[in-house]
Amino acid sequence: MFSKVLDLNKPFFEETLRMLIETQFDFVAQNPQLPMFVFREILANPENRKWALSTFAPKLIPFFIALDKSLNEEIAKGTVRQMSVIHLLMNVLSMNISTFIAMPVLQEAFQLDKGEKMEKFLAERRESNVQFILNALRP
């Protein structure tokens, strides 16, 4: 999922962050049951959590380091407000994942079928998440 975003040689931090948010949103949209599975199987079970950390951490740590470096460069330039990379990542994850955790209720409450209406909602929500996070970083 992060391999698309890992190339942080992009000219603007904002473009990289947009790609991170969109890529993660699209991944969860394609795997909407995954967040609850992860919660049940990995977060709630210490053995599974240990396995997941040992399997995925080596792949994700270089990404986190590069994103942290890029974020701190932007903070130093004054283009974004002070924020730790972990809070930034938590904002991305929580904004995107909550959409799909709440989806069964949203579908019923707002009569979102699985067709065009749903596609339109998800496209709007994806962009809304991007804008919300980018706006939260602006000084």
pLDDT digits (tens, 9 = 90+) for 7-39: 545 557 888 899 999 999 999 999 999 888 888
> What predicted TM-score, i.e. pTM, was given to this entire model?
0.84
* Residues 6+ away with beta carbon under 8 Å from 37: none
C-beta separation of 121 from 112 below 8 A: yes
Q: How far apart are CA 85 and CA 91, in angstroms?
A: 10
Q: Which two tokens stand for residue 15?
A: 């473009």
Which CA distances in Å does 86 have to 3, 32, 92? 19, 23, 10
Q: What is the pLDDT of residues 60-76, one digit of tens each?
A: 898 889 889 999 999 99
Minimal CA–CA distance to 8: which of 77, 55, 74, 57?
A: 74
